[in-house]
Each structure stands twice: as structure tokens, then as C-alpha cells.
Amino acid sequence: MHRLGLALASTLLLACPADDAWMDSLDDGESETGDSMTGSASMSASATMSASATATESGTGSGTESGSDTSPTTGASVDDTGSSTDGTTAADSTTGTAECPEGLEPSIFTDVDGCDAAVGEPFCSEGQTHVPLDSDVEWQSDPPNSGPHYPTWESWDEHATVVPRGYWVHNLEHGGIVLSYRCNDDCEPELDVLRDVMAQRPDLRILLTPDPLLPGDERFAAISWTWILRFDAPDLETLLCFVDQHENHAPEDVP
């Protein structure tokens, strides 16, 4: 029994590597809702969906002014089988290269007619701790999909100038979608596809911003809480599936 316990503990440590700060946060860190903040481990892109679930499309409006967050945490409940009570399905945290600590699994997603599988790559949550405005924040995922963020967030619309990541991670926590890009002036046709997504889903919370920090060759990303879709050539139908599946699946539901 002692050997089995040690083996399980070693497996968890290998699955979700942690530094000293991460471990300290398990005991001492406070999130915005009083929960401990922990680190993340990336998942593979595979996730299962239930064919019997009903497609839903949710949102609380666009163009909301930025503000400070004092709202309580809300979210859809998931039963022991991984299925939600509101027509959604939990991402399969047993697939891929790592498992998530309990309570930090990828958020659930909505089954959508015409979308054959979960769009994007799921990640373990990095928590939801507030940090002071303009402070340097390090995330384990690049681009970030959860984790520390500023106490204020930005409006749901297109931004011509860069929205710092510390702001829009807060937008993710509120259940919205961030569409980010790193390109020169020659990408207007691609940006028009992202704008078309916003135009076709005017009731969903979507923020569009330049992000010069996007790594790698792929110039675009669609991000929700604990989910990322990277791409270099935007596809309208794929992006519509992403926003329909992942909008409003975060710790908080705030306009």
C-alpha cells in the first residue's frame, strides 16, 4: 500500500509539474472567490462530446464598459459522469499528456449542431487570482487561458490598440471569448473573418485585440477560459463553432 501511494504521488507530480510558488499557493493563495490558486498543465486537443446534448447559444450582450470585479463566482454544475445539467459536456481530463488536479479541470463546453468535435485545445486552470494593475504576470500557457489577472477588464468589442493580457484574462473569467492576432497591415482580409464572427454573434461576449506577444508562426488565437485555438488562416465556420461551444463557460457570468 505504501508503494502504491508513492507511485500515485509521483504520477501526479510528473503530470502537473510545480515550482515552489505553485506549491505554496496550494496552502496560502487566495483566488478572487476565496479558492486556492494553482498552476496549470496543458492538455491535448482531444475532447469528447455527447451527441445527445442540445445546442445552446448564450451571452449577455456586447460593448460593455470596462470595470472592476466584485461579483460572486458562478458556473454550470457537472455531475459524476462529466455531463452538465444545462446541455453541456465536460472536457475529458483523462486524455492527452497530463491530468489536472481536482477542481482545475478544463471548463465544460456546449454541444453544437454542425460541430463534430470540441474545437480548440483544453488546459488545466491556472486559477483566478487578482494582481495589482500593470504588474508583471507570468502564465504557464502562452497565450494565457486562465490564471492571475488585473482587477479590471475591458469592453466587449474590437480594440485597435493592444489590450494587455492582464485585462483580457479577466474577460475570459467572465465567460467571454478573446480573438487575438499578431500580424502586419497586410492581414486585413483575415481580420475581416474575425470581425464577421463578431457580427454573426452580436449577443456573445467577444473581444478582438492585437497581441504582439503571440508566440510561434501562427498569427491568430481564439481563447476562452481554459481553451485555446491557434491558427494562421482563419476559418469562419471553425471560429463560430469555437465561440458557440465555449462562450459563457467560465467561473463567472458577468456582462
Cβ contact 27:36 at 8 Å: yes
Cβ contact 228:123 at 8 Å: yes
Q: How many CA atoms lie within 13 A of 197 on its CB side?
A: 28
Question: Whole-angstrom Cα distance, residue 233 to residue 134?
Answer: 32
Q: How many CA atoms lie within 13 A of 129 on its CB side?
A: 20
Q: What are the φ and ψ backbone dihedral angles of 24, each rounded to 5 degrees?
A: -60, -35
pLDDT in tens, 116-149: 889 999 999 999 999 999 999 999 999 999 999 9
Q: Is residue 68 over pLDDT 90?
A: no
Cβ contact 95:221 at 8 Å: no
| CB-count exposure of residue 222 (10 Å: 0-12, 13-18, 19+) | buried
Q: Which helix (H) or strand (E) holds 208?
A: strand 206-210
Domain ranges of the chain: 2-246
Report the pLDDT value the prediction gives residue 11, as an integer from 0 to 100: 38
Q: Is residue 172 over pLDDT 90?
A: yes
Report the pLDDT value the prediction gives residue 98, as an integer from 0 to 100: 54
Report the pLDDT value the prediction gives residue 99, as an integer from 0 to 100: 87
The greatest distance separating any two alpha carbons of the chain, rounded to the nearest whole angstrom, comes to 62
pLDDT class for 90, splitting at 50, 70, 90?
very low
Question: Whole-angstrom Cα distance, residue 130 to residue 69?
Answer: 10
Report the pLDDT value the prediction gives residue 194, as an integer from 0 to 100: 98
- Rg from Cα positions in the chain: 18
Helices (H) and strands (E) in the chain, counts: 5, 9
Interhelix angle 188-200/236-246, rounded to 10 degrees, is 40
Q: Show the cell assigned to 254.
A: 458577468
Cβ count near 37 (within 10 Å): 22
Cβ contact 97:43 at 8 Å: yes
Cβ contact 245:112 at 8 Å: yes
Identify the CA nearest to 254 among candidates 195, 173, 187: 173
pLDDT class for 24, splitting at 50, 70, 90?
very low
